[in-house]
């Protein structure tokens, strides 16, 4: 279980502009420990940009990122990691010439964990995720599915209060997705963290999320339970077009 005390991670009226392009426009969202929070939307909606803002990789043009109400905008990814924010990336970004265990320990060292605790954390995480047998393998020998799982394990090695997962199911087959759903659903109970999940696989979103926030064109469309969001007419139009399908039609 995490030793972090952070309870909330919040974006307040966040705007991001790249030149004349507005990537995010007045987005508000609040993550809480113990909750799996989904972030969905069409391609180009601003989902990864939002994760970059929340994890310190991108400073808002205006608005703030708050940790338990305190402004943490622009402190950078290393300080955000030490404050309790871990993340994975769309591409695994593993140290491919290092072993799986070494990848986790590097992350733990970066978050300020001492050597003995980092080693213990790496062992416990790999054991829990069913990756103990791969601990000594170089990452350039892993299957694609195991690369994705190790990426999540490395984020957990930061001892996070919140773990932000950017499309972890991308490229996985059905069996791998089912196993991933089980892992994500149990992260809050096992590690005491909150989860932000970006995912295009709506089976995963519907299966594990407590709440879902929808972005489109950098703006918030809706937030609620998965069922509430699925039945929201604004969301349905964004996904299905202006002449939305009947309410009985499956959106997710």
User: What tokens appear for 33 in the block?
Assistant: 């420990």
pTM (predicted TM-score): 0.91
Measured CA to CA, the distance from residue 117 to residue 108 in angstroms comes to 8
Angle between helices 144-156 and 115-128 (to 10 degrees): 140
Q: Is the dihedral of CA 217, 223, 229, 234 positive or negative?
A: negative
In-domain check, residue 231:
no
In-domain check, residue 165:
yes
Number of domains in the chain: 1
Question: CATH no. for residue 109?
Answer: 3.40.50.300
Sequential DSSP letters for 91-149: S----TTSBHHHHHHHHHHHTT--HHHHHHHHHHHHHHTT-GGGTTSBGGGS-HHHHHH
In-domain check, residue 249:
no
User: What tokens appear for 110 in the block?
Assistant: 């970066």
In-domain check, residue 234:
no
In-domain check, residue 63:
yes
Per-residue tens of pLDDT for the chain, all 252 residues: 567 799 999 999 999 999 888 999 999 999 999 999 999 998 899 999 999 999 999 999 999 999 999 999 989 999 999 999 999 988 878 999 999 999 999 998 887 888 888 899 999 999 999 999 999 999 999 998 899 999 999 999 999 999 999 999 988 899 999 999 999 999 999 999 999 999 989 899 999 999 999 999 999 999 999 999 999 998 888 776 655 555 544 555
In-domain check, residue 137:
yes
Its domain, for residue 123, covers 8-221
């Amino acid at each position: 279980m995490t030793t972090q005390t952070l309870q909330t991670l919040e974006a307040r009226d966040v705007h991001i502009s790249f030149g004349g392009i507005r990537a995010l426009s007045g987005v508000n969202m609040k993550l809480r420990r113990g909750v799996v929070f989904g972030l969905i939307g069409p391609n180009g909606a601003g989902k990864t940009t939002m994760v970059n803002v929340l994890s310190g990789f991108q400073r808002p043009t205006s608005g703030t990122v708050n940790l338990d109400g305190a402004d943490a905008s622009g402190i950078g990814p290393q300080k955000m990691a030490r404050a309790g924010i871990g993340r994975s990336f769309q591409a695994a970004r593993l140290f491919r010439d290092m072993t799986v265990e070494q990848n986790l320990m590097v992350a733990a060292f970066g978050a300020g964990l001492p050597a003995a605790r980092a080693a213990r954390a790496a062992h416990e995480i790999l054991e829990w995720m069913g990756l103990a047998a791969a601990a000594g393998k170089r990452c350039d020998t892993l299957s694609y599915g195991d690369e994705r799982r190790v990426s999540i394990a490395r984020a957990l090695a930061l001892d996070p209060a919140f773990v932000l997962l950017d499309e972890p199911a991308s490229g996985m087959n059905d069996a791998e997705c089912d196993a991933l759903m089980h892992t994500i659903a149990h992260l809050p109970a096992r590690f005491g963290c909150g989860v932000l999940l970006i995912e295009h696989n709506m089976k995963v979103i519907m299966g594990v999320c407590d709440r879902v926030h929808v972005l489109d064109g950098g703006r918030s469309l809706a937030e609620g339970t998965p069922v509430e969001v699925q039945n929201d007419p604004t969301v349905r139009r964004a996904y299905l077009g202006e002449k939305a399908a009947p309410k009985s039609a499956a959106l997710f």
